[in-house]
Amino acid sequence: MALQKLIYDGSFEGLLNAIFIVYQEQLDDAEILEERFYEPDFFAEAQQVYTDDTKATRVWEGLRKFPQFSASVYRSFLTELPDKEIYILDAVRYVLKTKNDKDYGQPSVLKLAQLTKQVGREKHRMEAFVRFKRTKDDLYVALIEPDFNVLPLIAKHFKSRYADQQFLIFDQKRSYGIFYDLERVEFVTLDFDDQQLKEALHQEEKHYDKMWQDYFVSTGIKNRINKKLHLQHVPKRYWKYLNEKNPL
């Protein structure tokens, strides 16, 4: 049988639906890919996957029997890499068939574990590198551009930490954010304007901004300077939104 291409909408539910079809139609030679990466190709049959929540739930329930593995399927999905589905499908097939969810000798299972680690690192970096600025109406706003789509993963952390503080963390790369209104965290999409934010800032903001930069300098020890190590921990691509590196 010819190679089957399953095209889905880019949502996690869509991916689960595609996996459902692979099993339902017993496709041995299938490739799942996101709409945005699809280019029609003469030798393969393409099939559009329609997202259906009940089917997605069924697949998810099945994967949930392997808690650590299912989490790594989700996290690998958040990498947004064009070929992530190849590893995900292969690992899912292997794990469901053999029940060996921790067999790091199997290439796809190991690959997913590695991707999961990368996403975990990015999540942790965002928990560290988010810098809030206070606005006049007491909203704390932070802008980020993470390598992977980690906003869904960090919401819980910020909610339990800043339970008494309204905040907005906005992903400029993906044009959406999470907003906490003292009750719950919601996903929001909006047009963001840097200039507007600057004008809306609370008057004390510049003082704390300055003090943090001062602190950053005075807490370093000159006799021990090690720029290479510094860069390893704080790669340049994150500097744009770190106020110790990029003042107001």
Binding residue (CB under 8 A) for other proteins from 44, 81, 201, 234: 234
Binding residue (CB under 8 A) for other proteins from 66, 132, 148, 180: 132
* Minimum distance, C-beta of residue 228 to other proteins, in the bound complex (Å): 8
* Minimum distance, C-beta of residue 13 to other proteins, in the bound complex (Å): 29
Give 51 or 100: the residue with its C-beta nearer to other proteins. 100
Q: Is 110 in the site for other proteins (CB under 8 A)?
A: yes
Binding residue (CB under 8 A) for other proteins from 34, 56, 133, 150: 133
Cα dist. 61→20, 96, 190 in Å?
12, 12, 34
Q: Which two tokens stand for residue 182?
A: 């003292």
**Binding residues for other proteins restricted to 151-170, rule: CB under 8 A:** 157, 160-165
* Minimum distance, C-beta of residue 5 to other proteins, in the bound complex (Å): 29
Q: Is 210 in the site for other proteins (CB under 8 A)?
A: yes
Binding residue (CB under 8 A) for other proteins from 60, 176, 212, 241: 212
Q: Evaluate whether 176 touches 187 at the Cβ level (below 8 Å).
A: yes
- In 3D, which of 214, 58, 102 has the Cα closest to residue 94? 102
- How many chain residues are in contact with other proteins, going by CB under 8 A? 54
Binding residue (CB under 8 A) for other proteins from 140, 148, 179, 180: 140
User: Directed axis angle between helix 53-64 and helix 12-24, to 10°?
Assistant: 80
Q: Is 105 in the site for other proteins (CB under 8 A)?
A: yes
Residue-wise burial string across 130-147, b where 16 or more C-beta atoms lie within 10 A, e elsewhere = bbbbbbeeebbbbbbebb
* Minimum distance, C-beta of residue 90 to other proteins, in the bound complex (Å): 15
Q: Quick count: other Cβ atoms within 10 Å of Cβ 51?
A: 17
DSSP character at residue 36: G
Helix (H) or strand (E) holding 187: strand 185-188
* Minimum distance, C-beta of residue 209 to other proteins, in the bound complex (Å): 9
Give 114 or 172: the residue with its C-beta nearer to other proteins. 114
Number of helices (H), then strands (E), belonging to the chain: the values are 9, 8
Q: Is 103 in the site for other proteins (CB under 8 A)?
A: yes
Q: Is 229 in the site for other proteins (CB under 8 A)?
A: yes
One-letter amino acid identity for 7? I
- Looking at the DSSP bridge assignments, the partners of residue 166 are 139
Tell me the three state secondary structure of residue 239.
helix
The site for other proteins (CB under 8 A) is made up of 100, 102-107, 110, 124, 127-134, 140, 142, 157, 160-165, 182, 204, 207-208, 210-212, 214-216, 218-230, 232-234, 242, 244
